[in-house]
Amino acid sequence: MSADADTIVIGKVLKPRGQKGELTVYPITDDPKRFLNLSSVIIEKKNGTVIITEIQSVRFHKDILIIKFKGIDTPVAAWEFEGSIITISESDAMPLPHGHYYLDDVIGCSVFDEEGMALGTVKEIYKTAGNDVFVIKSESGEILVPAIESFILEVSTKDKRITIKKPEYV
């Protein structure tokens, strides 16, 4: 995923839906209902083009959003947005409680165990029913670490550093 340093990724366009230019969107946020309160978003297309567009309507279908954006009125126009990333500016972001962080800020952080040994870098975050899982790319492959208090000891997005309790399987 790509995003400007001053933006926060909140969704990814999957594909068009229907004949009116609606798009199915996978929410990348802890609160998908946030889309209901947004009037506009920033869309980064796969080709790198960035546009700001107004939201006309949002509805839910299971865990997916169906969004109608102003100016995207046909299936052909909608296909141009397949795979696009939806972001908002940091100033539009919801305030976080103490000890919480935006998932986008965690990607790229260096990960260390409690003794200071470098383990790798967070490359991706899997969202699961129980908790998020950090995918840490190491020299020997991938390490999957549950993003729960018993494993994540400290997160400093400012320093791009995470300290974890080293899993027994590593």
The domain of 31 spans: 7-92
User: Can you give the pLDDT at residue 130?
Assistant: 84
pTM: 0.68
List the Cα angle 68/17/23 in 5-degree steps.
40
Task: Tell me the per-residue pLDDT of 122-132, one tens digit each, with 9 for 90 and over.
Answer: 999 888 888 88
Say how many domains are in the chain. 2
Is 66 within a domain? yes
- How confident is the prediction for the chain on average, in pLDDT? 90
Is 98 within a domain? no
Which has more confidence, 104 or 62?
62
Query: Can you spell out the DSSP letters for 53-105?
Result: EEEEEEEEETTEEEEEETT--SHHHHHTTTT-EEEEEGGGSPPPPTT---HHH
pLDDT band at 31 (very low <50, low <70, confident <90, very high): confident
Is 80 within a domain? yes
User: Can you give the pLDDT at residue 4?
Assistant: 58
Indicate if 86 and 130 belong to the same structural domain: no
Indicate if 108 and 68 belong to the same structural domain: no
Indicate if 23 and 66 belong to the same structural domain: yes
Which of 63, 92, 121 is where one domain is finished? 92
